[in-house]
């Protein structure tokens, strides 16, 4: 789960990483009040779960509360790479003497943590990595041992960060690594980590990706979601324990198991169609689950046809068929449903569908045939 900058910084503060004083605002008036409380010059920063805000005009300085209100009015509602800005972070302006780059990630290939540090921090670290790779210092960290103090110092020296503040920057690296491990993160990136005019080392930005598999250790992390503007369909699906991802096409896809659903997306595109979504009902889905899945798809206006592809293992095809029949009886289904059932109780399932004799259910014997029928029906609709 990708956090907003201010959420990441709240975790940094909790873990002892220095961050600027700041407040969030959802309206220009709130921005004025926040700037007034902070006092003096402030920076107004768009909160979106995507990088490159500075270049896109989403980070602006303001001399006083009145200007903060004006800058917030410009930034709120702005579109940054497809993300609408609904929250701004108002922070006391930092006096920047140097901008550095720091990140901790998982290197799954090496089965180790990876630290990356550069003295060329700021806005375009991808550019630095491409044009001057030596300026981006990398070090693997054994996750069992963790980052030792001497390694933090080595990172600081190899990256060529300021010598006078080396002790302070190494201490911040250790705290950031402590946050990365202690909060079960997939990524902690700070660009820029700054040196201030008075020699302090401060995290001026934060990009934190939490590993949701670790949420049982941090129940409060669920609260972060409250500030996300989630896709309403994805939210509805999550509340019903369905794995759903909205896509761009017109063929609604329901299947059991992520692998089968992904293969179904591939076959649909192979025969010239495009999927409206990924929807995995999981293993052992009953009639209710299928009905719920169809209900979610009725909310998506882009759907022209639905393809249900089930290979029954622990999932029973007769229960899936019952779910389809129940949905036909209780929901307004505006599209045909192509159904391919195979595996456990497939014969019984097909019989249930045949008995229902609904004109909107189109049986298919194979995944390929199902995809072809669905794409043809989507084109006709």
CA distance 193 to 71: 24
Cβ nearer to ligand GDP, comparing 93 with 271: 93
- Contact of 324 with 334, CB cutoff 8 Å: no
> Per the structure block, which two tokens stand in for 129?
């990595």
Judged by CB under 6 A, which of 30, 69, 189, 205 binds ligand GDP? 205
Helix (H), strand (E) at residue 293: helix 287-298
**What does 132-179 look like in DSSP terms, one character per residue?**
-GGGEEEEEE-TTT---HHHHHHHHHHHT--STTHHHHHHHHHHHHHH
Cβ nearer to ligand GDP, comparing 98 with 319: 98
C-alpha distance from residue 312 to each of 269, 286, 290, 323 (Å):
23, 11, 13, 14
Cβ nearer to ligand GDP, comparing 32 with 45: 45
Q: Does 103 bind ligand GDP (CB under 6 A)?
A: no
Task: State the nearest-atom distance from the C-beta of 286 to ligand GDP, in Å.
Answer: 45
Would you tell me how many other CB atoms lie within 10 Å of the CB of residue 36? 16
Closest CA to 98 of 46, 156, 59: 156
Judged by CB under 6 A, which of 183, 204, 287, 337 binds ligand GDP? 204
Cβ nearer to Mn ion, comparing 65 with 117: 117
- Main-chain dihedrals φ then ψ at residue 98, nearest 5 degrees: -155, 150
CA distance 247 to 334: 19
* Near ligand GDP in 110-149, by CB under 6 A: 122-123
Per-residue contact string for residues 162-201; x = within reach of ligand GDP by CB under 6 A: -----------------------------xx---------
Task: State the nearest-atom distance from the C-beta of 92 to ligand GDP, in Å.
Answer: 7
Cβ nearer to Mn ion, comparing 93 with 233: 93
Q: Does 99 bind ligand GDP (CB under 6 A)?
A: yes
Judged by CB under 6 A, which of 13, 15, 73, 96 binds ligand GDP? 96
Beta strands in 38-78, from DSSP E residues, in sequence order: 42-46, 59-62
Residues that bind Mn ion (CB under 5 A): 191, 205
What is the distance, to the nearest Å, from the Cα of residue 22 to the centroid of all Cα atoms in its chain?
A: 24
Q: Which residues are catalytic?
A: 101, 189
Judged by CB under 6 A, which of 43, 75, 290, 338 binds ligand GDP? 43
Q: What is the DSSP letter of 3?
A: P
Q: Does 97 bind ligand GDP (CB under 6 A)?
A: no
Task: State the nearest-atom distance from the C-beta of 258 to ligand GDP, in Å.
Answer: 32
Q: Does 7 bind ligand GDP (CB under 6 A)?
A: no
Select from Mn ion, ligand GDP, none the partner in contact with residue 43, using the beta carbon and a kind-dependent cut-off of 5 to 8 Å: ligand GDP
- Contact of 81 with 50, CB cutoff 8 Å: yes
Q: Does 372 bind ligand GDP (CB under 6 A)?
A: no
Q: Does 94 bind ligand GDP (CB under 6 A)?
A: yes
Give strand pairing partners of 84.
79
Q: Which stretch binds ligand GDP (CB under 6 A): 71-79, 94-102, 142-150, 308-316?
A: 94-102
CA distance 361 to 254: 14
CA distance 223 to 210: 13
Interface positions with ligand GDP (CB under 6 A): 43, 45, 51-54, 59, 93-94, 96, 99, 122-123, 191-192, 204-205
């Amino acid at each position: 789960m990708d956090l907003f900058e201010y959420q990441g910084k709240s975790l940094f503060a909790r873990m002892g990483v220095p961050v600027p004083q700041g407040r969030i605002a959802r309206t220009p008036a709130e921005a004025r009040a926040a700037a007034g409380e902070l006092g003096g010059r402030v920076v107004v920063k768009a909160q979106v779960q995507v990088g490159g805000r500075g270049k896109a005009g989403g980070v602006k300085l303001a001399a006083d509360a009145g200007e903060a209100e004006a800058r917030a009015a410009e930034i709120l509602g702005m579109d940054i790479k497809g993300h609408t800005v609904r929250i701004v972070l108002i922070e006391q302006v930092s006096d920047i003497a140097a901008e550095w780059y720091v990140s901790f990630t998982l290197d799954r290939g090496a089965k180790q943590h990876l630290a990356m540090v550069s003295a060329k921090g700021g806005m375009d670290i991808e550019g630095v990595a491409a044009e001057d790779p030596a300026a981006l210092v990398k070090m693997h960290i054994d996750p069992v041992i963790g980052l030792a103090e001497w390694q933090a110092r080595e990172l600081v020296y190899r990256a060529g960060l300021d010598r006078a503040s080396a002790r302070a920057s190494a201490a911040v690296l250790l705290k950031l690594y402590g946050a990365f491990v202690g909060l079960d993160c997939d990524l902690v990136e700070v660009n820029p980590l700054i040196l201030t005019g008075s020699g302090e080392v401060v995290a001026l930005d934060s990009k934190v990706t939490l590993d949701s598999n670790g949420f049982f250790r941090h129940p409060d992390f669920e609260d972060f979601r409250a500030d996300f503007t989630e896709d309403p369909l994805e939210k509805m699906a999550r509340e019903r324990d369905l794995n759903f991802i909205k896509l761009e096409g017109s063929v609604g896809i329901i299947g059991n198991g992520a692998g089968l659903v992904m293969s179904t997306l591939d076959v649909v595109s192979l025969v010239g169609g495009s999927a409206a979504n990924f929807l995995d009902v999981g293993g052992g889905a009953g009639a209710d689950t299928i009905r719920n899945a169809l209900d979610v798809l009725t909310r998506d206006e882009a759907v022209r046809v639905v393809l249900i592809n089930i290979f029954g293992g622990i999932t029973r095809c007769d229960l899936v068929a019952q779910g389809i029949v129940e949905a036909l009886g209780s929901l307004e289904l505006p599209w045909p449903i192509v159904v391919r059932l195979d595996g456990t109780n497939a014969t019984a399932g097909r019989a249930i569908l045949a008995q229902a004799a609904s004109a909107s259910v189109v049986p298919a014997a194979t995944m390929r045939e199902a995809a072809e029928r669905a794409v043809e029906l989507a084109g006709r609709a």
